[in-house]
Structure 1
């Protein structure tokens, strides 16, 4: 096995403060989730640019947490802050159903799908936000096929330098989250050959890549300043690293996942992310060095995860070998098991993962439906799963 540890460089560069030694309470780490959705014609599976009309029809519980996104065929939900997975799951179901009711009132469906099944060739119809139109002027054809839908998990970490240390520890596990949530094999009426085509489309943006190894908060800010100066991002909102400090809330934001078909799968993702963060935080406070994962190999692991999904092969960055995707999920579970057991998440998460292993990932389920009836059949499946309320 290669030497994969990096010495505690973070604590000595630029006068960084030493690591703290406080114990980690995983149950106290807060969670928040952003989910992005598509508006579809339920009869054809084509995206429909009707976000303004649907948003105007929103009412009832969960409606106040739904906002516009990049394109006029998307909506985004923002959960409340939670510490308990069952409560988070209920929150997600509530927002999804509020959006689905408003879409149905407009004769449309709401789909938790990473890419448009059909109808998104070329530059999509953009929302009215001037920022999005500035992005089109600057980046041109990069905007073609955008309007992809991800799921972003926020974990509350008030100490920004400590959050960056945690990010360093998370890096080798982020591709596993991508593989586990792959839910976008179909785009524009065809099978793309990738379990997560969203990851490929999103990867066209210059900053949409795995997070660097951060030496300090100053190092983080110097990289952001360089991207702004170089023009690879127009503002800090375009920091599309797959783990980043949130600029508007005191969290570490994990951005590696496709939007999940069901709220239960989203809550499962959030629980795993919190387990990884808690485990990393324990190691940071114990002075355990972060794995020294090469950037090139980390990108390779992300591509393999997006291509194969969890049912295929994965690149194990810590062992330097290709292994079955579920084998790497099992290794991740053992890595985080002490923290999941401590906060009571182990039992429900293993039930959910066993169900996913039995019935297949979103990508596998989409492909099965696509084989039966092309985009329309996929849309029918997704519309039902999006509002499912089942939990462990």
Structure 2
């Protein structure tokens, strides 16, 4: 199997290629990141329920922030709180490497991938948490084939009212964030036809969708209480909206993305999310209204993002005319066109924070290399072997490639 502790320098066909130190950010909003990973046989890509063993073996920086997830073949990492993107990258890489070294010591690989390559039929082996057994009893076959891996970005917004208003402003951008991070085209031993099969798997849960347009924090709470009363969620931890105010830390949590192939791509996603959140917070404080995109169109755009990723088309929710015209759709456009529009939207904030150059450099490398989904498909297409995809994912997961 590949040496999972080495630094991997990807060429233009396989991903980012430059290791460099980014400037310290002067951003006012803090960042934290949760990443979910698979434990798998490096030869077949088949998931292996070894989380407890790997967690016990993990050592070194960041190892104490590796925790269990839904299934016994997953691990989650929880970053510290950061303001600088370079520091965030180092933290994420420490945790990935600690988990990968522990996995390698057991003959396994740590994979930053949204779905199990070789399938995961039936109810997965669940972690020893009574809550997961309650979920299985209540939701039945929705639990089949679960154990998908996402990336959750926390942005420090403590005021609940401001958090739900920022959520409103972020709604139209959720699909393009998913497109950028799409990293789960292979599942059950085949190409699913979707850049993010994880998005489709998560969408089976009643609350796993773009959030509603909230009139206020009180409106948010009334909807949550209604879901609890109806049994569509068992507890507040099952609020799987793609953006939600966190219930345990003073943040707004953005949950739209697959786990990213590299720590650098996670930092790219986190930097763009913070740029959007800071821009939105300024708009909220200035009294600017959020675009009221129709729920049906927003779900359609999210489906398109899951299908095509950033390498295909996207649904233009804002009609190509900025933020005027609630619910207007401009039809299908190349996804990268919306990435460019997102960049222009957040550019003032990114330039003030010192994040513009490192993020645009990283985006350009991603544009050249293709998304995580595209790289998986290229590896699979060479010989039709899951081994080749698993080898790529193993190398990418611990690659140091932040610029």
> TM-score band, normalised by the shorter chain?
over 0.9
| Deviation by residue 1:115-141 (Cα, 9 ceiling, x = unmatched) | 000141111111111111110111111
Corresponding residue SS for 1:39: strand
Aligned twin of 1:312: 312
- What does residue 198 of structure 2 align with? 198
The aligned counterpart of 1:341 is 351
Residue of structure 2 in register with 1:390 after alignment? 401
> Please, which of 362, 372, 376 is the counterpart of residue 387 of structure 2?
376
Counterpart check, 1:322 vs 2:332: yes
**Separation (CA, whole Å) in 1 of partners of 2:178 and 2:333:** 15
C-alpha separation in 2, matches of 1:36 and 1:385: 15
**8 Å CA contact 2:26, 2:84 repeated in 1:** no
State whether residues 26 and 274 of structure 1, in contact with CA within 8 Å, keep that contact through their aligned partners in structure 2.
Answer: no
Whole-Å separation in 2 of the counterparts to 1:85 and 1:266: 10
Contact 1:45 1:118 in 2 (8 A): yes
| Rounded Cα–Cα distance in structure 2 between residues aligned with 1:47 and 1:75 | 12
Mapped partners of 2:243, 2:373: distance in 1: 23
**Separation of aligned partners in 1, 2:402 and 2:312:** 26
Q: Which residue of 2 aligns with 1:112?
A: 112
* 1:186-335 superposed matches below 5 A: 186-319=186-319, 320=329, 321-335=331-345
TM-score (norm 1): 0.93
> What pairs with 1:70-109 in structure 2 (closer than 5 Å)?
70-109=70-109
Distance in 1 of aligned mates of 2:222 and 2:107: 48
Q: Is the 8 A contact 1:35 1:149 kept in 2?
A: yes
The CA deviation at 1:86 is: 0.4
On the 8 A contact 2:26/2:354 being kept in 1, the answer is no
**Partner of 2:372 in structure 1?**
362
Q: 1:26, 1:339 within 8 Å by CA — same for their partners in 2?
A: no
Give the 3 Å change call, closer, same or farther, for CA 26–140 of structure 1 in structure 2. Answer: farther
Quote the residue 2:150 is aligned against. 150
* Alignment gaps of 5+ in structure 2: 1-24, 320-328
CA distance in 2, matches of 1:137, 1:26: 48
Distance in 2, matches of 1:208 and 1:350, equals: 30
Per-residue displacement from partner, 1:164-201 (whole Å, max 9, x unpaired)? 11000000001110000000000010111100000000
Counterpart Cα distance in 1 of 2:286 and 2:52: 50
Displaced runs of 4 or more, over 3 A? none
- How far does the alpha carbon of each residue in 1:233-252 deviate from its partner, in whole angstroms, 9 at most, with x for none? 00000000000010000000
Give, in whole Å, the separation in 1 of the partners of 2:180 and 2:239: 23
Tell me the distance in 2 between the aligned counterparts of 1:375 and 1:222.
46
User: Could you tell me which residue of structure 2 aligns to residue 352 of structure 1?
Assistant: 362
3-state DSSP class of the match of 2:367?
A: helix
The alpha carbon displacement at 1:56 in A equals 1.0
Aligned to 1:67: 67
Alpha-carbon RMSD: 0.9
- The CA deviation string for residues 286-326 of structure 1, in whole angstroms up to 9 with x for no partner, is 11100010001000000000000001000010101210000
Q: Secondary structure at the match of 2:310?
A: coil
5+ residue gaps, structure 1: 1-24
Q: For 1:86-124, what per-residue CA distance to the aligned partner results, in whole angstroms no more than 9, with x for missing partners? A: 000000000000000110111100000000001411111
Separation in structure 1 between the aligned mates of residue 363 and residue 123 of structure 2, nearest angstrom: 37
Q: Which moved more, 1:366-375 or 1:176-185?
A: 366-375
- 1:171-186 matches, cutoff 5 A: 171-186=171-186
CA drift of 1:358 comes to 0.2
Q: Distance in 1 between matches of 2:272 and 2:249?
A: 21
Q: Given the two structures, how large is their TM-score scaled by the length of structure 2?
A: 0.90
Give the distance between the partners of 2:109 and 2:103, measured in 1 at CA.
5
SS of corresponding position for 1:358? helix
What SS does structure 2 have at the residue aligned with 1:28? Answer: coil
